Amino acid sequence: MLRGGIVKTLYELHGAGHSIRAMARELGIARNTVRKYLRAPGVPQPTRRPRRPSKLDPYKEYILQRLNEGVDHGMVLVRELRARGYTGSVSLLRAFVHPHRRRRVPAATRRFETAPGEQAQVDWGEVLYTTPTGRTARLWVFVMVLSWSRALYVEFVPRADVATFIRCHLHAFEAFGGIPRRCLYDNAKIVVLDRPAEGEPVWNARFLDFALRMGFTIQLCHPYRAQTKGRVESGVKYVKRNFWPSARFTDLADLNRQAQAWVASEAQVRIHGTTHERPCDRLAQERAHLQDLPPVERRVVFLREPRKIGRDGYVQWERAWYGLPWPWKPGQTVEVWAQDDRVEIWAGDQRLAVHPRALRPGQRFTHPRQWEGLEAGDARPAPTPHAVQIPTVEVAQRPLAAYDALLEVPSA
């Protein structure tokens, strides 16, 4: 189909009396094309070519479903589509998603930059999932971001208490290879119990002790200004939008293995939108500015979690039960130290028991000497046998004739 300008020139040349050969030479087109336009009753209209099928066509219904569910991140969608056999490009997917994406109006804010090793930002996120039985359950996701490098640490946990919060810090410091000089938090109770308008904050004593022992300063956001820690706020959103929608896991350990693999293969190697560098490359530079980790003996006390001994000598942890050797006392507090493949139970500096870590809820591990000092069906120790002293009895001594006299019977 000729462009409109060429068609107009063709009719002008024809009106001026030019031959078909001359018009074809002038316009650079075939003579038969000139004849077709001159013989046509009107200006020929372009015919629409049939649309070629797109590689995205079989997946559009699924994409629209995920968009309605609030999942519009391009990398999340392409990862899910690749698992379903999609072989097209990311740009093709983004072009389809763009007009359907919900518009977000960013709020104006002032950006502050920090020096390497100076600051980390910490926050919780909450995620929901459906169990195989159809019940809605909740998990917490701990996120720490090093402010200069934007290096990320992610860990999913069942509780957001102080003990868990401290252990997540230790895991993050170990992953980063050091400790920043200060950590920034919002005003959560696990960090600060009260923050009066005048005077010093009332710190959570256990968390303050941890910070002092590790050598970092606690820094708080201004009240009602969560954007003060915008890096970790963005980090939590990034985890929830990029990793969580595609997470499929059998248990918490499996989920955290997937999260760590995602951090290593995607989060740390992407080109960051602000720094325009990969976080892993900047982390390699920032490590030299982080404080050294304290010795293991100073850290291990915070890795243990207090638990009470039950009436049957078991300690419950993460919905599984671990036994102790006799003697034990119901209600006594011990400490559980969970590692990748085992669970250790401690009392002060004494390790009482070591068990393999449970692979599913409800598992019960009995210690070989758990009831060694108990009678069956009794929660009290068996009595200790002891010697019984029999008293000495004095017996009167008589001659045998006296007994014979008693046996004599008088004659009738």
**pLDDT by residue (tens digit) across 165-202?**
999 999 999 999 999 999 999 888 999 998 887 778 89
Domain layout of the chain by residue ranges: 4-39, 57-100, 119-297, 304-393
Give the DSSP H/E element, type plus range, for residue 219. strand 217-220
Task: Identify whether the C-beta of residue 143 lies closer than 8 Å to the C-beta of residue 153.
Answer: yes
DSSP-derived letter for residue 267 is: I
**pLDDT by residue (tens digit) across 22-38?**
888 888 888 988 888 88
- Output the CA torsion sign for 174, 240, 243, 95: negative
Range in 114-128, 213-227, 244-258, 377-391 with the lowest mean pLDDT:
377-391
- Output the CA torsion sign for 347, 352, 354, 358: negative
Give the residue-averaged pLDDT of 390-402.
52
Task: Identify whether the C-beta of residue 330 lies closer than 8 Å to the C-beta of residue 319.
Answer: no
- Output the CA torsion sign for 358, 360, 361, 363: negative
Reported pTM: 0.62
Q: Of 168, 143, 161, which Cα lies nearest the Cα of 153?
A: 143
Integer CA distances (angstroms), 58 to 3, 50, 373, in order:
35, 18, 68
Task: Identify whether the C-beta of residue 127 lies closer than 8 Å to the C-beta of residue 240.
Answer: yes
Task: Give the pairing type, strands 342-347 and 350-356.
Answer: antiparallel
Give the residue-averaged pLDDT of 251-263.
93
Q: Using CA atoms, how far apart are residues 329 and 68, in angstroms rounded to an integer?
A: 56
What is the DSSP annotation of 151-167?
-EEEEEES--SHHHHHH
**pLDDT by residue (tens digit) across 125-154?**
999 998 888 889 999 999 999 999 999 999
Q: What is the percent of the chain with per-residue pLDDT over 70, rounded to a whole number?
A: 84
E strand map for 4-135? 119-130
More confident residue, 17 or 331: 331
Q: Using CA atoms, how far apart are residues 181 and 175, in angstroms rounded to an integer?
A: 16
Give the residue-averaged pLDDT of 53-75.
84
Task: Give the pairing type, strands 342-347 and 333-338.
Answer: antiparallel
Integer CA distances (angstroms), 342 to 164, 336, 355, 370, in order:
18, 10, 6, 18
**pLDDT by residue (tens digit) across 47-61?**
677 778 888 888 888
Strand partners, 291: 179
Q: CA torsion 8→14→19→24, rounded to 10°?
A: 10
Residue 40 pLDDT grade (very low, low, confident, very high; cuts 50, 70, 90):
confident
Residue 270 pLDDT grade (very low, low, confident, very high; cuts 50, 70, 90):
very high
| Domain 119-297 top-level CATH class | alpha beta
CA 375 to chain centre: 45
Task: Give the pairing type, strands 320-323 and 364-365.
Answer: parallel
What is the DSSP annotation of 114-150?
--TTTEEEEEEEEEEEE-TTS-EEEEEEEEEEETTT-
- Output the CA torsion sign for 63, 69, 73, 78: negative
Range in 101-110, 164-173, 325-334 with the lowest mean pLDDT:
101-110
